[in-house]
Amino acid sequence: MGEDWSRWLDETPGEGESSSQPVRSKAPVVRLRRGNDAGAEDHPAQRPILVVGGCGGAGTTTTALGLAGELGTGGTPTVAVDATSAGSDLALRGADEHLHPISLQSWLYGRGADEPAPLKECLSRATSGIGLLWRDAAPLRRRATYLTVARAVRDAGYTAVYDGGHPIAARQLLPLLDDADVALVLTIPARNDAANRLRVALEWLDDQFGDTTEGHDGGIVGDTTIVVSHQYPDGDSRVADHLREHLSGWVREIREIPYDPHLARGELVRHTSLAAETRRAYGRLLAGVAS
């Protein structure tokens, strides 16, 4: 870590020069909302959130559950959605009240004619008050995408927190990444190698979604919150401090989630069983992505 990051962050061509690297502004930028969908004024709540890992084992599921849990306990109708390519353990980890047998796909096609079933009746439940939608390995049918899912969740009156897993370039995540209303949280474990690989993810995001055309002065990297997840009790903050040194002004925020023995067990996550500092960390993270 160190020199490679510094060289990358300073590699912007001068006036009249060309470069294979995308041109980046020195000031932080925020993605613009891309239009007013019908009914948007009826749902002025917190932005939906997509949590994606910068590498494997980055804590996307626990971060998604932590953010959703804070929303739920705050009174916001919230659903944590499995947005991985073939299904993860989101509901198995988070449904500490009731695990419903209905999958995301069953809900989405529940009424036929591309009309979803009533969402409230199809959710698994957590004691924090949130609902959960798990998915099976079958692909979404009839040209449906996660944009279809996002619209249906919004129309049902819920705020969604998506567990996108890894990698960030997975095909099913592209519609959510392209939606400027969705707040992006990119998680990595507190390891040097994970921080180094973060560069690749940020460059890919900027190449694919960094809109600098007239009328779109926002870029996805500037609207991305980086989360450093401490998964071992002897972890320190040097990785997060290094990222703050080199990425402040380029990304929205850099946050840390402390080690929590309850999460480290890899079992059912009960939001009320998290350490007080862990919940405060999720609350601060939520406050940052909500703005």
Give the pLDDT confidence of 42-56 residue by residue, as tens digits.
434 589 999 999 998
Would you say residue 237 has pLDDT above 80? Answer: yes
Predicted confidence (pLDDT) per residue in 73-111, tens digit: 999 999 999 999 999 999 999 999 999 999 999 999 888
Would you say residue 64 has pLDDT above 90? Answer: yes
Sign, CA torsion 273/278/280/282: negative
Least confident span in 62-71, 105-114, 236-245: 105-114
Band of pLDDT at residue 18, cut at 50, 70 and 90:
very low
Band of pLDDT at residue 210, cut at 50, 70 and 90:
confident
| pLDDT > 90 fraction of the chain, expressed in percent and rounded | 70
Burial label, 183 (beta-carbon count in 10 A; 0-12, 13-18, 19+): buried
Would you say residue 30 has pLDDT above 70? Answer: no
Please tell me the predicted confidence (pLDDT) of residue 113: 67
Q: Distance (Å, rounded) from C-alpha 68 to C-alpha 123?
A: 14
Please tell me the predicted confidence (pLDDT) of residue 21: 36
The letter for the amino acid at 210 is: G
Q: Cα torsion for 123, 126, 130, 136, to the nearest 10°?
A: -40
Would you say residue 173 has pLDDT above 90? Answer: yes
Please tell me the predicted confidence (pLDDT) of residue 4: 54
- Average pLDDT over the chain, rounded to whole? 84
| Most confident among 21-35, 222-236, 261-275 (mean pLDDT) | 261-275
Would you say residue 215 has pLDDT above 90? Answer: no
Band of pLDDT at residue 184, cut at 50, 70 and 90:
very high
Band of pLDDT at residue 137, cut at 50, 70 and 90:
very high
Please tell me the predicted confidence (pLDDT) of residue 110: 87
Mean pLDDT of 199-227: 80
Please tell me the predicted confidence (pLDDT) of residue 181: 93
Q: Distance (Å, rounded) from C-alpha 178 to C-alpha 73?
A: 29
Q: Distance (Å, rounded) from C-alpha 2 to C-alpha 155?
A: 45
Residue 107 near residue 116, CB atoms below 8 Å: yes
pTM: 0.84
Please tell me the predicted confidence (pLDDT) of residue 270: 97
CB atoms closer than 10 angstroms to residue 72: 23
The DSSP secondary structure of the chain, one letter per residue, reads: --HHHHHHHH----TT---SSPP--SS---PPP----TTGGG--SPPPEEEEESSTTS-HHHHHHHHHHHHHHTT--EEEEE-SSS--SHHHHH-SSB--S--HHHHHTTTSTT-PPPGGGG-EE-TTS-EEE---SSPPPTT--HHHHHHHHHHTT-EEEEEEES-TT-GGGHHHHT-TTSEEEEEEES-HHHHHHHHHHHHHHHHHH---STT----TGGGEEEEEE--STT--SHHHHHHHHHHBTTBSEEEEE---HHHHT-S---GGGS-HHHHHHHHHHHHHHH-
**Token pair listed for 103:** 């999958």
